[in-house]
Amino acid sequence: INSSGTDFDYKDTCKWAKEFPMCGEKFQSPINIKIPNLESLGELPPLKWNGYENAPTTMTLVNSGHSITLTGQWDDNNIPYITDGPLTDAYIFEQLHFHWGPNDSVGSEHKMNGNSFPLEMHMVHFKKEYETFSNAVKYSDGLTVVGLFFDISPMGSEALTAILGGVSAVSSSKDPFELDPFELSSFNVAIAAVQFATYAGSLTTPPCSQSVIWILPINTLNVSSKQMKKFRNIELNHGDTHNYRPTQPLNGRSIHIFTQ
Ligand code: SG5
Ligand code: ZN
């Protein structure tokens, strides 16, 4: 619910721009990433994950009505942040959440060579110099979101198990659920030594602020069918059965590639 008392749904995402004008701007997300067309950023330093091995003191899962969102509280100096790669400063971890759909052929927001994945996870970070997430959203380099793609595999993913352990408590409830704290490093370990695509875009939900440096590893992690079933059981606002926005026009932006 925004300040004018309205909310958005996924039934007609083209209507978002009527109430949220930035959703109609030119450099929106998600996009389709065509791998053969990428330009190389050359010799970038590897992306660096700092403090991801630190477990938080508390960890909370909440159903926002648009996704499930995981947040944590870390002691001073223990808070996870990323640096280097295409980034010019430290970006502090804010939250992670997921996008999915009613069946395995859809769900991810970004596409790779026109292909969708059943699940996409977003690790949202804000630029340290802007101090807070809500302030950082006002700047074109305010946020960086690392998006991870998941594909179906019988084994699923251990890291998802820890999150999904709390999902039944929030599937039909807006009450926050306290998880047993765990470190987030399993996700970045899983994408060690892979290539990344990066481009400038927006939040994929209203208000669609064009404040995001997107970082997308070009590989997939595993999710089992049983794990996907748990995502699809989460009750979203307005009876939505998916929470992905369709891909948006590139409008001349370049997508760069780099390796860790
Ligand atoms: C917004 O952007 C919201 C997120 C929302 C993303 O700015 O942030 C806030 O409102 C600050 C609290 O919503 C929440 O965090 C709800 C608790 O994403 C989601 O988590 C729901 C999909 C959109 O982010 S994205 O561009 O990475 N998809
Ligand atoms: Zn997202």
* Closest residue by CA, ligand 1 atom 26: 203
CB of residue 125 inside a 6 A radius of ligand 1 = no
What is the CA(242)–ligand 2 centre distance, in A?
12
Tell me whether 0.85 is exceeded by the ipTM. Answer: yes
Q: Alpha-carbon distance 146 to 198, whole Å? A: 9
pLDDT digits over 89-118, tens only?
A: 999 999 999 999 999 999 999 999 999 999
What is the mean predicted confidence (pLDDT) over 166-183? 97
CB of residue 60 inside a 6 A radius of ligand 1 = no
pLDDT digits over 53-75, tens only?
A: 999 999 999 999 999 999 999 99
Q: Can you give the pLDDT at residue 257?
A: 93
Task: Evaluate the CA torsion angle 94, 30, 90, 193 in order and state its sign.
Answer: positive
Alpha carbon separation from 199 to 62, 123, 165, 214 (Å, rounded): 29, 16, 33, 5
Residue 190 near residue 219 (C-beta atoms within 8 A): no
* Closest residue by CA, ligand 1 atom 16: 64
Residue 179 near residue 169 (C-beta atoms within 8 A): no
Instruction: Compute how many other C-beta atoms are within 10 angstroms of the C-beta atom of residue 248.
Output: 21
Look up tokens 């970082």; give the residue.
215
Nearest ligand to the C-alpha atom of residue 68: 1
Q: Which atom of ligand 1 is nearest to the CA of 99?
A: 22
Structure tokens that stand for 158 in this block = 């251990």
CB of residue 220 inside a 6 A radius of ligand 1 = no
Q: Alpha-carbon distance 216 to 35, whole Å? A: 12
User: What residue ranges in 56-176 does DSSP mark as E strands?
Assistant: 58-63, 68-73, 81-84, 91-100, 111-112, 119-127, 143-152
* Closest residue by CA, ligand 1 atom 5: 205
Residue type, 160: L
Q: Is the pLDDT of residue 2 over 70?
A: no
Q: Alpha-carbon distance 169 to 231, whole Å? A: 12
Alpha carbon separation from 88 to 45, 143, 162, 186, 213 (Å, rounded): 11, 12, 32, 25, 11
CB of residue 95 inside a 6 A radius of ligand 1 = yes
User: Is 66 an annotated catalytic residue?
Assistant: yes
Question: Comparing C-alpha atoms, which of 81, 259, 234, 219 is closest to residue 172?
Answer: 234
Res. 1 pLDDT band, cuts 50 70 90: low
Structure tokens that stand for 97 in this block = 């959440």
Q: Alpha-carbon distance 31 to 25, whole Å? A: 14
Residue 253 near residue 214 (C-beta atoms within 8 A): no
Q: Is the pLDDT of residue 227 over 90?
A: yes
Mutation test residue for ligand 1: of 69, 209, 236, the one with most atoms within 8 Å of CB: 69
Residue 243 near residue 7 (C-beta atoms within 8 A): no
Q: Alpha-carbon distance 132 to 92, whole Å? A: 9
What is the CA(205)–ligand 1 centre distance, in A?
7
